[in-house]
């Protein structure tokens, strides 16, 4: 059963057709990925799915609900979370406060509760803190709890973004190049982490990656796009052998 359906998606920037008539689906509980050359339109697809870009035309559905014309915050509330290709943390806030942001859409205390410190307010604060701590623990950066995000090592910042996304309790997690800048050992850790996200939380994962070794290891389904169009799709074995994909994206040499 598919969790996300993208149909005939199109995105135009002035004269540039960044995404062109793209359709694909993401199966529930899968780890899927989108690959393609730089500038193919992968991040743009993410931006449309999460509501940051408005598609020129086409349809996007999450669990049967159309996401077209919805604000990013609404889409997150519906069960989608993402990380950004260029990290978008809250740089001056602590790791803990960064992750607490994820719980915003799952809680509802307002001004009144805060002013009078009502019981339900206090209970919710406890819950927020607990969920945040769990997520931080889960990605393994508990030792940085009180450090401000901008002073974290780069890798830790990546994990922090994932923790923050997990705190929104998503059905679908979108990761934009999560392995960029990680060394081999760290990538192995990331692979474990992504698997655990799916297995322990039942969260479907869709990611963009350029690291073929990583893709081969965990991705069950790949969609390849070039110039905004889908040029191939299937399992890693199928796709990585595809001539078109090799020519446009992989190249002949082995670099990995």
Partner 1 sequence: MKPLLKLTDVNSYYGKIHALNNINLEINEGEIVALLGSNGAGKSTTLKTISGLIKPKSGSIEWNGKSIVGAPVHKIVESGIIHVPEGRRIFSGLTVTENLELGGFTYRKDKKWVKEGIERSFDLFPRLKERAKQLAGTLSGGEQQMVAISRGLMANPKLLMLDEPSMGLAPIIVQEIMRIIREINKQGTTILLIEQNAKAALRLANRGYLIEIGNIVMHDTAEVLREDDKIIKAYLGA
Partner 2 sequence: MEMFLQILIDGLVIGAFYSLVALGYTMVYGIIKLLNFAHGDLYMMGAFIGFTLLSFITGDGGVNTGLLGVAIVFIGTMTIVGLLGMGVERIAYRPLLLAPRLSILITAIGVSLSLEYTSMIGWGASYKVYPIKLPNDGLQFLGTQISFAQIGMIVLSALLMLGLRLFIDKTIYGKAMRAIALDQTACSLMGVNVHRIIALTFFIGAFLAAGAGIMSGVYYGTINFMMGFTIGLKAFTAAVLGGIGNITGAMLGGLVLGILEAFGTFYIGGSWKDVLAFGILILFLVFKPTGILGAKEMERM
Partner 3 sequence: MKKYKKQSLGLLIISLFILPFFLNSYWLDVFTLVLFYVVLTQGLNIVVGYTGLLDLGYAAFFAVGAYTTAILMTTYHWSFWLTLPVAFVCAALSGIIIGTPTLRLRSDYLAIVTLGFGEIVKILATNLEITGSASGIYGIPRPAIGSYILSSQKDFYYLILIVAIISIIAVYRLGRSRIGRAWIYIREDEDAAEAMGINRIRLKLLSYATGAVIGSFAGSIFAVKMSAIAPLSFSFLQSVMILLAVVLGGLGSIPGVVIGAVLVIVLPEILRGADDWRYLIFGVSLVAMMIFRPQGILPSKNGTEDASELDESETNDPKQSVSV
Ligand X SMILES: Nc1ncnc2c1ncn2[C@@H]1O[C@H](COP(=O)(O)OP(=O)(O)OP(=O)(O)O)[C@@H](O)[C@H]1O
The answer to whether 209 and 35 have CB atoms below 8 angstroms apart is: yes
Per-residue binding letters, 153-192, with partner 1 (x by CB under 8 A): xxxx--------------------x--xxxxxxx------
* Smaller CB separation from ligand X, 14 or 64: 14
Query: Which one among 5, 12, 85, 148 touches partner 2, defined by CB under 8 A?
Result: 85
Minimum CB distance to partner 3, residue 179 (Å):
20
Query: Which one among 86, 112, 115, 146 touches partner 1, defined by CB under 8 A?
Result: 86
Q: How do the residues of the chain divide into helix, strand and coil, expressed in percent and rounded to 5?
A: 45, 25, 30
Region of 45-53, 130-138, 164-172, 246-254 interacting with partner 1 (CB under 8 A): 246-254
Please count the other Cβ atoms lying within 10 Å of the Cβ belonging to residue 182: 18
The answer to whether 103 and 132 have CB atoms below 8 angstroms apart is: yes
* DSSP-assigned letter for residue 248: I
3-state DSSP assignment of residue 39: coil
Is 46 a residue that touches partner 2 (CB under 8 A)? yes
Minimum CB distance to partner 3, residue 108 (Å):
8
Both tokens of residue 9?
A: 């998606």
Give per-residue burial for 8-33: e unless 16+ CB within 10 Å, then b.
Answer: ebbbeeeeebbbbebebbbeeebbbb
Q: What sign does the dihedral 166-79-215-224 (CA atoms) show?
A: negative
Region of 39-47, 73-81, 91-99, 111-119 interacting with partner 1 (CB under 8 A): 39-47
Is 43 a residue that touches partner 2 (CB under 8 A)? yes
Is 120 a residue that touches partner 3 (CB under 8 A)? no
Q: Crossing angle of helices 184-201/154-166, nearest 10°?
A: 10
In the list partner 1, Mg ion, partner 2, none, the entry touching 8 (Cβ below 5 to 8 angstroms by class) is none
Can you give the C-alpha Rg of the chain in angstroms?
A: 19
Region of 8-16, 35-43, 141-149, 215-223 interacting with partner 3 (CB under 8 A): 141-149
In the list partner 2, Mg ion, partner 1, none, the entry touching 181 (Cβ below 5 to 8 angstroms by class) is partner 1
Binding site for partner 1 (CB under 8 A): 13, 36-40, 43, 85-86, 151, 153-156, 177, 180-186, 210, 212-213, 248-251, 253, 255-256
């Amino acid at each position: 059963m598919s969790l996300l359906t993208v149909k005939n998606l199109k995105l135009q920037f002035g004269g540039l057709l960044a995404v062109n008539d793209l359709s694909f689906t993401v199966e529930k509980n899968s780890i899927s990925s989108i690959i393609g050359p730089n500038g193919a339109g992968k991040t743009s697809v993410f931006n449309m799915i999460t509501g940051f870009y408005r598609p020129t035309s086409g349809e996007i559905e999450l669990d049967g609900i159309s996401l077209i014309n919805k604000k990013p915050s609404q889409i997150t509330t519906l069960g989608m979370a993402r990380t950004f290709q260029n990290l978008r943390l809250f740089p001056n806030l602590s790791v803990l406060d960064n992750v607490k942001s994820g719980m915003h859409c799952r809680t509802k205390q307002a001004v009144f509760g805060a002013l009078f410190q009502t019981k339900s307010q206090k209970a919710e604060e406890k819950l927020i803190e607990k969920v945040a701590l769990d997520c931080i623990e889960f990605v393994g950066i508990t030792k940085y709890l009180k450090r401000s995000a901008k002073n974290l090592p780069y890798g830790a910042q990546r994990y922090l973004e994932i923790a923050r996304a997990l705190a929104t309790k998503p059905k679908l997690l979108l990761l934009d190049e999560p392995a960029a800048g990680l060394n081999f050992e760290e990538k192995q850790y990331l692979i474990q982490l992504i698997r655990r996200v799916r297995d322990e939380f039942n969260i479907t994962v869709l990611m963009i990656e350029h690291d073929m070794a990583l893709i081969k290891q965990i991705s069950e389904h790949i969609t390849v796009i070039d110039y905004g169009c889908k040029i191939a799709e299937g399992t890693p074995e199928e796709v990585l052998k595809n001539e078109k994909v090799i020519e446009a994206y992989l190249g002949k040499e082995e670099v990995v």
